[in-house]
Structure 1
Amino acid sequence: MRIVDFRITRFQFARDRVIGDSQVRAEDAHVAALELIDEQGRVGLGFIQSLFVPLPPEAEITRVFRFEAWPTLEDERAQALVHRVARPRGGNQRAWTLPFHEALQVALWDLAAKQAGLPLWQLLGARRDRVNAYASGLDFHLSDTAFSELFGRADALGYRAFKIKVGHHDFERDLHRLDLLKKAVRRDAQIMIDANEAWSPKEAVMKLERIRDAGHALLWVEDPTLRNDFAGLRHIRQAAPWTALNTGEYLDASGKRALMQADAVDLLNVHGQVTDVMRIGWLAAELGVPVTVGNTFLEVGVHCACALPETEWLEYSFQNFDALVEEPIPIRDGVAIAPEQPGHGLVLSEYARRELRRPDVFDASELGPPPLGLPEREIH
């Protein structure tokens, strides 16, 4: 069951809304599918994503992958590679030229689980197949009307927890958005905010006090200040005990370990690199730090969320990626459910291969309207 081939398919299409936060914005989707193929024709699927600039042409992505990554994969066994521990020394500790890292881990684990005949969540040791999902707007650049409509729709679909972007230069706008959210969603909703490092530690404490005094109870504040300012994060955690501090999103595994050791986090935020997430998740469990799973491409992170102890939340942000796969991860009444079939359950759709493939780079003006999505996954 060795890996004998791979296939890369490049996609580029318009998003159905502008997404972003206090630091960034994005209007188009730049994605490539990575498929690793074993001797028996089984396929492990991962996605290469560039948030802000188009990926190179498909032929160039393939060339770079064949040169940089393929020599470490060819004729290897996926079940061995997912557990392999490398010595991080010198030149072997470096980034890929293109963002292959997460796609490789996801594709390898998908293939390994298929070879084992198990759903990925079971291969990772989970004893449950579902986790709470919260509705995340990536909403900083939306108008007030679009903001209210997005979260009102999320509430109607059964979500009970909602996260909005803050960090505007005019703090009154942040307070106004919280007021709008309160009107758009159910009375007993749980509310989170994400500042994306927009504030200083002292500023964060002052603004959290104003949010509390304005009558808004927060489940957590996410990334209020710089990722490496462990002293500042610890100060926020201690000075604002009425809300949890969720951070770690921007740190690698070593940084997340240092963050926890500095006692500067209440909830550790992890994402889609399965091997890295499980390793740091085990350490978090040893240290008694709960984990939340942030945005993962097409919510594949549900498998890690189910497998890690004390993980209560998975982020879902209404991005129009569903057309890329035959069937997305189901979310029903605010609960994400891990698929039962072997692997992670996502299969590249024939519609995407036929209609959304862009081997060459398109100008944004040439992309046309956003692709038609599947019916709302949350309605069943």
Structure 2
Amino acid sequence: MRIAEFRLTRFQFARDRVIGDSQVRADDANIAALELVDAQGRIGLGFAQSLFRPLPALAEMVRVFRDEVWPGLEGEPPLGLVHRVGRPRGGNQRGFGLPFEEAVQVALWDLAAKQAGLPLHRLLGSRRDRVRAYASGLDFHLDDAAFAALFAHADAQGYRAFKIKVGHPDFERDRHRLDLLVRTVRPGAEVMIDANEAWGAKEALVKLGALRDAGARLLWVEDPILRHDFEGLRLLRQGAPWTLINSGEYLDAAGKRALMLAGGTDILNVHGQVTDVMRIGWLAAELGIPVSLGNTFLEVGVHMACALPEVEWLEYSFQNFDHLVEQPVEIRDGWAHAPDRPGHGLVLSEDARRAWSRPEVLPRAALGPPPDNPRVAMRGQG
């Protein structure tokens, strides 16, 4: 039952559309698959991702992992590791040299659930096996035609809730995109906006008021102002009671706790580190604060979403990653369904390993066409 070996596979490929928000954009995917193998040959799978620059060559990634991560994993039982409480003090409060944290947590939980013979959401204590999904465009850099095509496609697939990026220097562009979304999707759809900290507190209040006066109905506004401006977020909650404030995405677990205790959010946004999500999710449940699962790699967050009582929504962003696994998470009629297979249910595709692994760093021009994305019927352009 103990961890015996590890494997890393480096992937680098073009995205099928440019993604981004008011602060960033990304044109290609830089991903590493981590496989933790126990003595019986069972595999726990996790993914590491670098959004804005290529990961180093595979040999360097293996060196960093072996030096920094492997000593804490080798010979250990995965179920014990996922429940272990650390003692962060002084120089121990540091990350790894490469972004392995989420990959390690997900791989450990996957392996622990496989050893227990349970789907991950059942190991986490779920009472359901599906959660509502909303369509998120990561659409800030798309032109209007690509924007409308993406959300029309999402609407046709049965999504009933949609989130767009705002925070443009020209506020009229934000209003135009919101109007375009409403004209594109079904009447009565739930609509969310995400400013990615583009505004100040007073600015956000003025702009949200302008959108309301123009007839916009917003389920929530996400990250409208700086993540640590708890007072500003609290004032927004009070000053804009016609919508909800969704925040916490950019904070670690301690920051999320401080945010909730400061009254700075109506909905807490969490992501893909399973242990951290469950711990902060338990606190959110104690405080009666709803939780939303933001983007998680290949929608592995559906397991935490089904296990936490305060989660109503899971984000899905139509990224062309499905080819990396044999069977992705099913999303049907606006609901994400947790796999009933042991572990998190995602198995690395050997076809993808053969076709898309890139041990060495490639220049952008050498990536070639992107992998097909069967869940998207358009190619967005910046």
TM-score by length of 1: 0.98
1:133-190 CA-partner distances (Å, limit 9, x unpaired): 0000000000000000000000000000000000000000000001100111000100
* Residue equivalent to 1:363: 363
Tell me whether 1:47 sits opposite 2:47 in the alignment: yes
Give 1:347 deviation, angstroms.
Answer: 0.4
- For 2:271, the equivalent position in structure 1 comes to 271
Map 1:11-160 onto structure 2 (within 5 A).
11-160=11-160
The answer on whether the counterparts of 1:323 and 1:374 sit within 8 Å (CA) in structure 2 is: no
Name the residue aligned to 1:220.
220
Amino acid at match of 1:295: N
Q: Which residue of 2 aligns with 1:201?
A: 201
The one-letter code of the counterpart of 1:275 is T
Aligned to 2:337: 337
Q: CA shift at 1:373, angstroms?
A: 3.1
C-alpha distance in 1, partners of 2:150/2:253? 33
Q: Distance in 1 between matches of 2:49 and 2:116?
A: 27
> Could you tell me how far apart the structure 2 residues matched to 1:94 and 1:58 are?
23
Find the aligned partners of 1:123 and 1:134 in 2 and give their Cα distance. Answer: 25
Does the Cα contact within 8 Å between 1:9 and 1:353 map onto a contact in 2? yes
Question: Which AA in structure 2 matches 1:255?
Answer: G
Counting only pairs closer than 5 Å after superposition, residues 315-334 of structure 1 correspond to structure 2 as 315-334=315-334
Looking at structure 2, the residues matched to 72 and 310 of structure 1 have their Cα atoms a distance apart, in angstroms, of 32
Q: Distance in 1 between matches of 2:187 and 2:179?
A: 12
Specify the SS of the correspondent of 1:69. helix
AA partner of residue 125 (structure 1): G
Q: Secondary structure at the match of 1:82?
A: helix
Deviation digits for residues 278-308 of structure 1, max 9, x if unmatched?
A: 0000000011101000000000000000000
The one-letter code sitting in structure 2 at the alignment partner of 1:278 is M
1:91 deviates by 1.5
**Residues 7 and 36, structure 1, Cα contact 8 Å, conserved in 2:** yes
Asked if the contact 2:44/2:110 (under 8 Å) is kept, the reply is yes
Deviation at 1:310, TM superposition (A): 2.0
**Which structure 2 residues correspond to residues 159-238 of structure 1 after superposition, within 5 A?**
159-238=159-238
CA contact (8 A) 1:233 1:264 kept: yes
Q: Matched residue of 1:354: which SS?
A: helix
1:221 Cα offset (Å):
0.2
Structure 2 residue aligned with 1:282: 282
Residue correspondences, number: 377
What's the counterpart of residue 380 of structure 2? none
CA distance 1:375–1:224, shift in 2 (3 Å): closer
- Cα 1:291–1:229 change in 2 (3 A) is same
Cα distance in 2 for residues equivalent to 1:95 and 1:174: 36
Q: What SS class does the counterpart of residue 18 from structure 1 fall into?
A: strand
Q: Which amino acid aligns with 2:179?
A: D
SS of residue in 2 equivalent to 1:81: helix
Query: Aligned partners of 2:369, 2:252: CA distance in 1, in Å?
Result: 36
Deviations 1:197-249 (A, max 9, x none): 00000000000001111111000000000000000111111100000000000
- The alignment partner of 1:340 has SS state of coil
d(CA) in 2 for partners of 1:289, 1:310:
7
Structure 1 position 350 matched with structure 2 position 353: no
Tell me how far apart the structure 1 counterparts of residues 153 and 256 of structure 2 sit (CA, whole Å).
34
Mapped to 1, the partners of 2:26 and 2:155 lie a distance apart of 25
Gapped runs of 5+ residues in structure 2? 378-382
In the TM superposition, residue 376 of structure 1 has moved relative to its aligned partner by 6.3
Q: For residues 217 and 206 of structure 1, what CA distance do their matches in structure 2 show?
A: 16
- The alpha carbon displacement at 1:375 in A equals 5.9
Letter of the 1:40 counterpart: Q
- Partners of 2:318 and 2:375 within 8 A in 1: no
Shift of 1:53: 0.2
- Give the secondary structure class of the aligned counterpart of 2:315: strand
Amino acid of the residue matched to residue 198 of structure 1? Answer: A
SS in 1 for 2:46: strand
Displacement of 1:92 in angstroms is: 1.4
What's the TM-score once normalised by structure 2's chain length?
0.98
CA distance in 2 between counterparts of 1:375 and 1:304 reads 23
What SS does the corresponding residue of 1:134 show, helix, strand or coil? strand
Within 2, Cα distance between the matches of 1:372 and 1:198? 33
**Aligned in 2, Cα 1:331/1:199: closer, same or farther, shift over 3 Å?**
same
- Number of the residue aligned with 2:246: 246
Matched residue type, 2:339 = P
Counterparts of 2:287 and 2:223 in 1: how far apart (Å)?
20
8 Å contact 2:30–2:49 — kept in the other structure?
Answer: yes
Alpha-carbon distance in 2 for matches of 1:96, 1:229: 27
Q: Shift in Å at residue 90 of structure 1?
A: 1.3
SS at match of 2:285: helix
CA-CA distance at 1:374 after TM superposition: 4.3
Contact 2:153-2:376 within 8 A present in 1 as well: no
The answer to whether structure 1 residue 255 and structure 2 residue 240 are counterparts is no
Partner letter of residue 13 of structure 1? F
Post-superposition offset of 1:56: 0.2
For the 8 Å contact 2:13–2:28, the answer to whether it is kept is yes
**What displacement does 1:34 show?**
0.2
Task: Indicate if the aligned counterparts of 1:135 and 1:161 stay in contact, CA closer than 8 A.
Answer: yes
